């Protein structure tokens, strides 16, 4: 009896347990509904059939038209404009895989893979702890396809990888003459550089952030990287130049993207991104004729 009295004297606390159970159910439900990766769309114009068949009569040439075309082949990117072509942008393709087992990335040259009759790789990529990726499906675990820009003197020349200085956020730096910066010592606090983005000239500094000044340091040390230049960046630079120069053409916003049958979708999207960023909004897709 004495015990009971004691209990009644205690302040009554609300029973939160049912509410908690409700919450525990609600939160997983909402978690599954939330998209952590935001999706966007890329719009394209439908392929024009006349451009696919190469033997049809070409439309009468318009002297003012730009007729800008970017071709993606296995070895190079090429730009045609006004009926002429610019120098080919050779690249070396590199595949970066992410290992599920340890979460690390590994980078391979795709030409080192040997395939058997069924199309499965005999020497699939190996993770750092020795696990091999599946020979048949390893292509689907490619995380990024990098295109390293090559300096080639001739078709036969194996080429030299071009290097460039990249910022913390992975944009290539350009100097005052709109050229890629290839010397790491140039990029230091006090220097003025730009990136491929429009009116992006900024001063570099260490440890201070204000408008027009980029802080290149992290924990007191410069955090810039010197690595193989991406062929996409070379392409972007050329496209920006073309868009600026031919802004008066009737088709100044148009671009046709051509690709080989076995070009990966990722490459197409990347090229389309660079074209859109350079100001070419109307993107058409077409196919390279067989053998071309």
Partner 1 sequence: MARKTREYGEKITFSLTSMMDIMTIILVFMIKQVDTEGQLITAAENLVLPNSTSTKVPKEVSLGLVVDQNWVLVDGQRIIETSSVAAQDSLLVEALDVVLKEKREAEKAAMLAKGESDEGGGNVIVQLDKNTYYDIMFKVMATCGFSGFTNVAFAVNMKNAEE
Among 152, 270, 275, 280, binds partner 1 (CB under 8 A): 270
Scan residues 161-180 and list those touching partner 1 (CB under 8 A). 169, 171
Site of tokens 């300096």: 151
Q: Which stretch binds partner 1 (CB under 8 A): 45-53, 123-131, 176-184, 205-213?
A: 45-53
From the list 57, 114, 117, 262, which residue makes contact with partner 1 (rule: CB under 8 A)?
262
Query: Would you say 242 and 284 are in contact if contact means Cβ atoms under 8 Å apart?
Result: no
Yes or no: say if 91 and 148 are a contact pair by the CB < 8 Å rule.
yes
Minimum gap (Å) between residue 105 Cβ and partner 1: 14
Query: Total number of residues binding partner 1 (CB under 8 A)?
Result: 51
b/e burial code for range 14-30 (CB count within 10 A of at least 16 → b): eeeeeeeeeeeeeeeee
Is 4 near partner 1 (CB under 8 A)?
A: no
Question: Which residue's entry shows tokens 């009644």?
Answer: 8
Q: Which of 137, 160, 188, 245 binds partner 1 (CB under 8 A)?
A: 137
CB nearer to partner 1: pick between 152 and 258: 258
Q: How many CB atoms lie within 10 A of CB 162?
A: 19
With beta carbons less than 8 A apart as the criterion, state whether 215 and 224 touch: no
Contact between 269 and partner 1 by CB under 8 A: the answer reads yes
Binding mask 202-241 for partner 1 (x = CB under 8 A): ----------------------------------------
Taking the CA atoms of residue 246, residue 252, residue 258 and residue 263 in that order, the dihedral angle to the nearest 10 degrees is 90
* Interaction between residue 259 and partner 1 (CB under 8 A): yes
Q: Is 160 in the site for partner 1 (CB under 8 A)?
A: no
- Rounded to an integer, what distance in angstroms lies between the CA atom of residue 13 and that of residue 8? 12
The answer to whether residue 117 forms part of the interface with partner 1 (CB under 8 A) is: no
How far apart, in whole angstroms, are the C-alpha atoms of residue 99 and residue 213? 38
Nearest partner of 116 among 135, 93, 99, judged by Cα: 135
Q: Which is nearer to partner 1, 62 or 101 (CB)?
A: 101
Judged by beta carbon, residue 116 or residue 266, the one nearer partner 1 is: 266
Does 266 bind partner 1 (CB under 8 A)? Our answer is yes
- Rounded to an integer, what distance in angstroms lies between the CA atom of residue 187 and that of residue 256? 36
- The alpha-carbon radius of gyration of the chain (Å, integer) is 27
How many residues would you count in the chain?
A: 292
Query: Pick from 38, 74, 118, 221: which binds partner 1 (CB under 8 A)?
Result: 38
Residues in contact with partner 1 by CB under 8 A are 13, 16-17, 19-20, 23, 26-27, 30-31, 33-35, 37-44, 46-47, 52, 72, 137, 139-140, 142, 169, 171, 195, 197, 200, 259-266, 268-270, 272-273, 276-277, 285, 287
């Amino acid at each position: 009896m004495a015990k009971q009295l004691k209990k009644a004297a205690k302040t009554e606390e609300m029973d939160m347990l049912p509410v908690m159970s409700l919450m525990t159910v609600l939160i997983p439900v909402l978690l599954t509904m939330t998209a952590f990766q935001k999706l966007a769309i890329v719009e394209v114009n439908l392929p024009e059939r006349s451009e696919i068949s190469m033997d049809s009569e070409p439309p009468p040439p318009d002297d003012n038209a730009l007729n800008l075309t970017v071709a993606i082949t296995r070895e190079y990117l090429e730009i045609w404009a006004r009926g002429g072509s610019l120098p080919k942008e050779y690249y070396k393709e590199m595949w970066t895989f992410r290992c599920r087992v340890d979460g690390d990335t590994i980078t391979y040259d795709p030409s080192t893979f040997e395939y058997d009759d069924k199309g499965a790789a005999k020497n699939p990529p190996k993770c750092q702890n020795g696990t091999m990726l599946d020979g048949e499906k390893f292509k689907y675990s490619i995380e990024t396809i990098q295109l390293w820009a090559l300096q080639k003197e001739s078709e036969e020349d194996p080429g030299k990888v071009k290097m460039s200085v990249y910022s913390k956020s992975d944009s290539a730096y350009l100097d005052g003459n709109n050229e890629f910066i290839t010397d790491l010592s140039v990029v230091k606090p006090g220097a003025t550089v730009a990136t491929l983005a429009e009116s992006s000239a900024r001063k570099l500094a260490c440890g201070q952030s204000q408008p027009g000044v980029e802080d290149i340091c992290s924990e007191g040390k410069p955090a810039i990287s010197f690595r193989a230049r991406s062929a996409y960046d070379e392409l972007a630079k050329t496209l920006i130049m073309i868009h600026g120069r031919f802004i008066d053409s009737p088709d100044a916003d148009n671009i046709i993207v051509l690709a080989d049958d076995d070009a990966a979708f990722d490459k197409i999207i990347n090229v389309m991104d660079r074209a859109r960023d350079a100001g070419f909004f109307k993107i058409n897709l077409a196919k390279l004729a067989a053998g071309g």
